[in-house]
Amino acid sequence: MAPRVFGDDDVRRLLDAETAVAAVRRALLAHHDGTLHAPPRVFAELGDGPLAFTAGELADAGLFGFRAYDMFAGAEQLVAVWERTEGTLRAVVHGAELGPRRTGAIGAVALDAAARPGPLRLGLVGAGIQAWAQLWACAAVRELADITVHARRQDRAAAFAERARAELDLPVRAVPVAADAVRDRDAVILATSSATPVIEADWIGPGTHVTALGPKTRDRHELPDGLAERASVVLTDSRAQSAAFEEPFLDPASMTELGAVLAGAAPGRSGPADITLFSSVGLAGTEVAVAAALYESEG
């Protein structure tokens, strides 16, 4: 039997946000209960840099696979999924679309678990692929009442807002000042590659949930100092991966795993005035889970 092959157009057309979010939620729970095997990345060094592999096995679903990507050519990524009992290669997903959407789905699960109940006023810093995928996924878990977006380049924020209105029918407005994108928000998503903080800690009001996707080492971090200290809980999708940074900006020992909160095994938000923080590291194995959901949704 030949594997199903999905390119970027297929992913855009076939993967709906609800499916991606549900697949990632199951994987986060499986990670918590020990049935998701997701070892550290491994690298094979070629002439100008490594090929990286993040593997994962979803034991309960009887699936395993990996994502492969190079760190020297910027080539298409590859996600492969096998069905274990039969030993068949079921799906090959290639291109750039699956990765950000799975990261978006992780962010949506965190947002849904940690943000205050009800419709959310959402602020985005960053207007790139990752910000887009967060918005796409978060709209599947909550009503987004009012959305602000800020980017260093105003034209990109404006284009992002226009695309969101057109494609997702969401009320997004671009704001030229970063503080205006994050003040008076129920949830804030930082989706930049910035090596220096893109907001100030006191712009974040009580009750806000913050998701951070960008750099988070001591030398390079988009989060400001002082915010984690104000948060009642700092969540991550993988404490082990958080601890694998050479010099993490946030202390992994102080973090709670999102899967534990989903399972009811650890507390998340305790009240409406809490600040909650989610440090997203991209739990390994979730690419395999989303790729599996993609081919399963296709019969």
Count Cα neighbours of 16 within 13 Å in the Cβ-side half-sphere: 7
Q: 150 by DSSP, 3-state: which?
A: strand
Q: What letter would DSSP give residue 299? A: -
Q: Interacting stretch for a second copy, rule CB under 8 A, among 46-54, 177-185, 202-210, 249-257?
A: 46-54
Residue 3 within binding range of a second copy, rule CB under 8 A = yes
Which CB atom, from 74 or from 118, has the smaller least distance to a second copy? 74
Residue 64 within binding range of a second copy, rule CB under 8 A = yes
Choosing from 13, 33, 39, 225, the residue that interacts with a second copy (CB under 8 A) is 39
Choosing from 2, 166, 177, 253, the residue that interacts with a second copy (CB under 8 A) is 2
Residue in this structure with the two tokens 């220096």, named with its chain if needed: 196
Q: Interacting stretch for a second copy, rule CB under 8 A, among 11-19, 35-43, 116-124, 160-168?
A: 35-43
Q: What is the smallest separation between the CB atom of 151 and a second copy, expressed in angstroms?
A: 26
Choosing from 12, 14, 71, 88, the residue that interacts with a second copy (CB under 8 A) is 88
Question: Are 5 and 294 contacting, i.e. CB atoms less than 8 angstroms apart?
Answer: no
Q: How far is CA 68 from the centre of its chain?
A: 18
Q: What is the smallest separation between the CB atom of 231 and a second copy, expressed in angstroms?
A: 33
For residues 14 to 33, the per-residue mask of contacts with a second copy, x marking binding by CB under 8 A and - elsewhere, is --------------------
Q: What letter would DSSP give residue 238? A: -
Q: What is the smallest separation between the CB atom of 254 and a second copy, expressed in angstroms?
A: 27
Q: How far apart are the first and last CA of the chain?
A: 14
Handedness of CA 221, 222, 228, 234 (dihedral sign): negative
Residue 244 within binding range of a second copy, rule CB under 8 A = no
Rg (C-alpha) for the chain, rounded Å, is: 18
